[in-house]
Structure 1
Amino acid sequence: MKFFNREKEIKEILSILEDEPNNIYFIFGSINSGKTTLIKHIIENKLNRDKYVVFYINLREHFISRYEDFIEVLFNTYEESFIEKIKRYFLSFIKDLPNNIDINSTILTGIPIPKNLINEFLSKKNSENVFKYLTKIFEDVKRKGKQPILIIDELQKIGDLKINGFLIYELFNFFIDLTKEKHICHVLCLSSDSLFIEKVYDEAMLRDRVDYILVDDFDEETALKFINFYAKEKNIKLDKKEKELIYSYVGGKPILIIKVINKMKIKNLSDILDELLKVEISKLENLLEDIKEGNYNVNYEEVIESLKLFKNTYSIPKSKIKKDIRNLLIKKNYLFLNPVNNEIKPQSFLIWNAIKEFYK
């Protein structure tokens, strides 16, 4: 499928990349709002191949519970020649950087590293050496006349990982060193976990060193254009009322719009939408039943009253919902928090509709 819209976000990100690295950027938004699709589109279609080298690390598909897991995802190993091993034996690996980066590649999905060296990192569990190696890699790219960009997708997956304290704080210090202090490498972090973004936003060590880019669901006007665009791609004819009906159920969530239109080849539109809503209502009822039975450490009646706040409005100040209830509903992907404006809303129109139907 052709990429659709997001011109505002594309322009903002390209403007950042054209300047000297000076801040860490967090690209955040509700689940399935299109963050990864956006960043991949920029990397593959908007960046000058003669100017940038991108290191894209996606933590989404990996189970990361140990330091070793993170290191193995971070790096791409290659076999060292005998001469390289001898050289590295006599010289510090920080001084002796193997000439292993193909700067003609726009995208690298891991940091190149000799197998023997990664074994040293894994055995010693010394993040300082890892960060020194990465810095040397990025400096080497700069010397070769290109601007390195480090992108980590779903960064929150290492939020609770520990090595002599939380790894995430060491990583933040490293990012600050790369951007604010040395201006070597752009750093972009993607996350759909709004509780993680809230922690980042409140973190004192990151104050004035981080900026935020919201990639939200489409607004109504854009959503209706996307519905029309995707329906045409699938050779499905929709009249104005049908387009508006789709939006009224699933809003501007691209993945849900695609799901509805794809199903229209074999099902009636109203049946598709009713089925989606019934499934969402059922999920909500199951969660509330679990809460009522005491499976979560929150008060059932207070949860009911909290969700009731969305009966007539899509977005409310986060202060209107108690923190323990708010955090549970965010973790369960029912609510999304924007810590920049302190607003909280359902993760999608579909969930919002399920909440409203529940209170009928």
Structure 2
Amino acid sequence: MSVAAPRPVPYDPELEPGLAFFLDLVERIPLRAETILANREHFATIIQPIDEQVGDLPVEWEHRLIPGPAGAPDVEITIVRPARVPGASEHADAPLAPGVLGIHGGGYVLGTRFFGTGELIDLALRYGTVGVAVEYRLAPEHPAPAQVEDCYAALEWFAANAAELGVDPERIIVSGASAGGGLAAAVALVARDRSGPRLAGQLLNCPMIDDRNDTVSSYQYDGIGAWDRNNNDTGWNAMLGPDRGTDRVSPHAAPARATDLGGLPPAYIEVGSAEVFRDESVDYALRIWAAGGQAELHVWSGAYHGFSGFSPDAIVSRAAVAARDSWLRRVLSA
């Protein structure tokens, strides 16, 4: 006898127009193995170039090519920082800026680093941060661990070149949403396990961290929402292939697989109550606390995947942004 899927949590009515706008924007090309390339082509048409994102804002950027992981190609990055005043001298005793390694989302199969540079521009304006956006390799052409290794190579470069960039190496955080949040969590695990750069924090926005896709919330959002259970299957299958769902999956690919979450940098975890990633995000925070770590968890009522970006004026979105800003102020000023 078949078992009915659990009833989904209803959306906050104030968020529904933003969700409808997002679904129209992406044109609802179902994300399946055979449509990954079509989805990439469509996403390329809706991601603004960085010069358009910046416009007249007092922010500057530069593109660089940095060493990639051992035996792998170099990695493209974009550095985003507050604009420097022309003619101003650079004093050796000038205060060092916080740093943010920004990792874009896209289910491990879509997007470019410019999908996440909007956050780095905003942080540069409000907190004076120097951000690094990393162009990691995508699945299925590049299966795991290519994605996290590219991102970790960018972190190592960032920390090693902090002085040149005017960054305090003790105040670098890693940040990402969706698959970017999963990679941010994975980078934090890799840095701990390899005794690498010490991160000041990890901002995990609706993170994609569990390849098993077997939580209640994953079944509640099967065929509905901004990112559903089927999209999730596509992304994980592309990245992990036949290893998916087996004991061969590394925590550096799917952070929810980690059995030890001790010794990690403070985490900020946010997620909507009405989305696939709700339960795995809550469980990740619970296990960080159980290991004696620091985590701040926010589950926003009736919120869909990526709600604060597409419904910015909703009351719950403004609350989410304020809570995130509170954490950032505390971590970046520490």
Give the TM-score normalised by the residue count of structure 1: 0.26
Q: Judging by fraction of residues, say which structure has more helix.
A: 1
Q: Which of these two proteins has the greater Rg computed from alpha carbons?
A: 1
Give the structure, 1 or 2, with the largest relative contact order (CA under 8 Å, sep 6 or more).
Answer: 1
Structure 2 length-normalised TM: 0.28
